[in-house]
Each structure stands twice: as structure tokens, then as C-alpha cells.
Structure 1
Amino acid sequence: MATEPNLARWHHYVPRMLLCGFATDRDMITAVRLPGDTTFTATTKSNGAQKHFYSVEAEGQALDAFEKSLGEVEADASRIIRQVVEGRVRLSEEDRSRLAFFIALQAARGPETKRSMEHVASEVLGSTIGASGKEALRRKVA
């Protein structure tokens, strides 16, 4: 993976703006290691995040392009959530739609979902190679 100076390296699958809502004034939170036997203290920067979790190598795109797109969705959601917390309960239809998209996105962005998708992709690739052979696959992707 190439190193670029302004590349986002820590990618949060639990948005930091949500973690900050539970943090101390020093950005520390208490987390529970599932299934719930152990607790630990961590920063909002490192908890709910992995290095290069959303990095994707695609021609013409920065490695962190997907992470930056998620950041735009999170910025909208942060603004809307702040309004709700401050007592503004009548959200516009557009804001309700943006918030619903953000909530739905949370269900599909964690490590377990990523592992499941990688497993499915591996199985499909294996089936394709098994059915067509490696040479046929090379011709398709060339």
C-alpha cells in the first residue's frame, strides 16, 4: 500500500462523532470486549477503527476515497443528530432521508460484514474458476 501524506489511515466503522457522545473531555471511552467479559478504556481515535479498513485500490482513486465518502455522510448525520439532541424535533424530509441512510449504513459497515462479503467474493471466485478454469477467468478480466 503506497503511503501518501494526507491519506486517512484510521478508518472508523463506528463513527467517531458517535463515540464522542459517550467520551470524557479527554476523548476517552470505556468499551466492552464482546461477549461482554472484559472492559477497557480507549480513545475515540482508536476504538471502533482499523488501519486502512476501507482502503480500496482502484485506478484513478486515492486509497481512502471510500473513507472520505463515508466522512461526508457522517458530517450530514452529525449535523442532524446534533439538532435532535438540542431539541429540534421537526426534521425536513431531506434530513430524515439522510439520517435514515446513515442508520442503514451502520448495519453494513463493521468488521463482521466485511468478513462475510470477502468470504462470499472468495466463494464466487472459486466457483467461477472451478466452472470455467483459470484461463477462461484470465480472459474475462483482461
Structure 2
Amino acid sequence: MGKNPGKQKLKRRHHTVPRLLLRRFADGERLVRVPLDGGEPMLVGVGDVTVRRDFYSMRTEDGQLDDTVENLLSDLEGQAAPVIRKIIQERLWPLPVGDRAILGQWIAAQHVRIPAVRQANNEIFDQLTKIMVAAGGKPEMRRLLEEQSGEPVTDEEVEAMWDEMTDFNSYDAELSVNDQMLMMGRSMETAYDAMMNRSWGLCRFERKTLLLSDHPVTLMRDPRQPEWRGVGLANAAAILVPIDRRAAIFMQPPGIPDHELPASTRVARELNHRFAWNSRIELFHHPEDNPLDGIELPPVRSYEAEFSQTAEDFVRPDGLTETA
């Protein structure tokens, strides 16, 4: 049988950093990949880095892969490309309202589409799931087992499942990709609103160059905030986004018009330090550049969320009715 000419091929290789941005740091289709695990920097192709199979693919009700999200991200990339060209080639700044909105959507997508966000969601979901198991105890375990089987279960069956489910290190609870994509969509709306309400500054470099993190949007902590509070879109002193090897956007608290910021060697080094330390496993730069000169690389980041208590702290075999 022949192929259906009206059916488009499913996209399976998904870039977590868009090729539009990678090419801005490349010599044609090549750029330098610097791994954080101590490996040697290597010249690689734009099409071969930050690729994860089916990363944005949802599942339909009949179990088939659906690349709608990947197509939407590609469409957004196509809209953002001419805006970035205007900034870099035509030196347009500030941006007209329409172009600013397109670039804001694209940057918001970069903030939420990264693997770190998915990992953080899974780490939080895993922790909450295990706490619910621990606090519910054997009574809740029995209820769930009987709900699944539709009939009474024995004490031995409850005990076996309790032992298995309270061996918390033996398994990880993860959200489905469909749930992750729904969360990504909601988070993108929130990120877009937060970014559009800020004042945008552009810093252009004539001699110095920038690097690109595998997680391109960097939140700059406000030094006046206590360390325990953390940093997010709402309280960040600035949101830093490289859009080219010689240009970066600063999103600052509202109150002043969009503007251009003076560039200097010190500013370039500070940006590259922050971009490097926002990386998780790798970073990239143009083959002719040396933006890492004098910058110590961070270790590979193995987790995203920190918890003051673990599920073990909530174990109640008899459930929440147990007296202290």
C-alpha cells in the first residue's frame, strides 16, 4: 500500500532549546558543546543537541502519539525569528507592541519548555504522592485496593502492598506527559504576563560574546530577599535572556520605558557567569568565541526541588486517626 500523501510525518526529535536560538550561537550549523561533567568541549551540529525523543508528544485517547505541542512551538519559533532579526540586523529597539508580544510569548515558552521544569514537577508530584501514601496508612491502602479490585482484600494483601509502597526509594511517581503539557500551557500564560509587565532592556556587545545555556532563561535573585524565599518570576531582580551571541535582554521590574543598556567587559562576564550557572548538563558557544574565559563551571545539577521533610516523616501505618 502507498503512503497517505495528506498525512504529515510525526515529529519525534524535539529540541528543548529551539534551533532558532542555537543557530544564533553557531557558525552556520555548528557550535561548541561544553559538558558540565568534565568532558571535553566538542564541535557539534545544531540539529544534534538538546534533542529528546517525543519530549512534547502527548497521547491521544487511543494511545497514539500527538505532536501538536511540538508544532505549536515550531510555529512560535517561526514568528519570533523575524523579530530577532529586526533587533540584531536592523538594530530595532524598543520593539513595537506586536513584535514585543511575539517575542514575549517565545521567551515565556523557553522558560517553561525546559527539562528542569518537567523534572521539578515530577519531583514535587513524587514527594506529594509518597506523603499521601505514608499519611493514609493501611486503611487507605485497603480502600484503594478494594476500589481497584471491586471486592474485599485480605490483611496479607494490604500488608504486602504497604511494604512495597513505603519502600520509597524503590520507585518514582511521575506525571504523564499529557499532564506535563497542560501544566506547561498554564505556566506559559503566567510567565508571559509576568514578562510583559516588566521593563525590557537590551544590551548589545560589539567585541565581547555570550554563551548559551541549555536552560536559556535565567532568573536573577534580588539580594534584598532572604535566601530561603527562593527566586521566581514575581520576585526576580531581573530575567536575563540571551537572544544572540552579541545581545541579551534584561527584563527588570516595571516603572521605566524599554531601553538599551550600556555594554562592557564586566557586564559580559557577569552575564556569562549567570548563564553558565543556570545550565544543568551542558552549555554552548560559537566556535570562534571564548565566553568561558575566567568562569568556573557549575557541577551537573541532579535535582530541582528541595524538601525540608521526606515521606518517611509522615508514615502512619494506622492512618491519620492514629494518636500521637
| TM-score by shorter chain over 0.5 | yes
* C-alpha distance 125-55 of structure 1, shift in aligned 2 (>3 A): farther
Question: Which stretch shifts more, 69-78 or 117-126?
Answer: 117-126
Q: In 2, distance between residues paired with 1:136 and 1:103?
A: 47
Greater relative contact order, per chain length (Cα 8 Å cut-off, separation 6+): 2
SS at match of 2:41: strand
Task: Name the residue aligned to 1:112.
Answer: 116
Question: Which stretch shifts more, 83-92 or 33-42?
Answer: 33-42
- Percent identity between the aligned chains? 26
Whichever residue aligns with residue 69 of structure 1, its letter is L
Whichever residue aligns with residue 82 of structure 1, its letter is R
Task: Name the residue aligned to 1:63.
Answer: 66
Whichever residue aligns with residue 16 of structure 2, its letter is Y
Task: Name the residue aligned to 1:101.
Answer: 105
Question: Which stretch shifts more, 67-76 or 103-112?
Answer: 103-112
Which is richer in helix? 1
Task: Name the residue aligned to 1:85.
Answer: 88
Post-superposition offset of 1:121: 2.5
SS at match of 2:59: coil
Whichever residue aligns with residue 115 of structure 1, its letter is Q
Post-superposition offset of 1:90: 4.6
Q: In 2, distance between residues paired with 1:35 and 1:5?
A: 38
Task: Name the residue aligned to 1:10.
Answer: 13
Task: Name the residue aligned to 1:47.
Answer: 49
Does the aligned pair in 2 maintain the 1:31–1:39 contact within 8 Å?
A: yes
Q: Structure 1: where are the runs of 5+ without partners? A: none
* C-alpha distance 64-91 of structure 1, shift in aligned 2 (>3 A): same
* C-alpha distance 40-135 of structure 1, shift in aligned 2 (>3 A): same
Q: In 1, distance between residues paired with 2:38 and 2:87?
A: 30
Post-superposition offset of 1:135: 5.0
Whichever residue aligns with residue 101 of structure 2, its letter is S
Post-superposition offset of 1:102: 1.6
* C-alpha distance 127-93 of structure 1, shift in aligned 2 (>3 A): same
Matches within 5 A, 1:124-135: 124-128=128-132, 131=136, 133=141, 134-135=144-145
Q: In 2, distance between residues paired with 1:129 and 1:137?
A: 15
Q: Deviations over 1:49-90 (max 9, x none)?
A: 211111221338852111111112211111211111122335
Does the aligned pair in 2 maintain the 1:11–1:49 contact within 8 Å?
A: yes
* C-alpha distance 137-106 of structure 1, shift in aligned 2 (>3 A): farther
Q: Structure 2: where are the runs of 5+ without partners? A: 1-6, 149-324
TM-score, normalised to structure 1, is 0.76
Q: Deviations over 1:95-119 (max 9, x none)?
A: 2122122212212222222111122
Post-superposition offset of 1:30: 0.6
Q: In 2, distance between residues paired with 1:17 and 1:135?
A: 50
SS at match of 1:38: coil
Post-superposition offset of 1:137: 8.1
CA RMSD of aligned residues (A): 2.8
Task: Name the residue aligned to 1:30.
Answer: 32
Q: In 1, distance between residues paired with 2:110 and 2:121?
A: 15
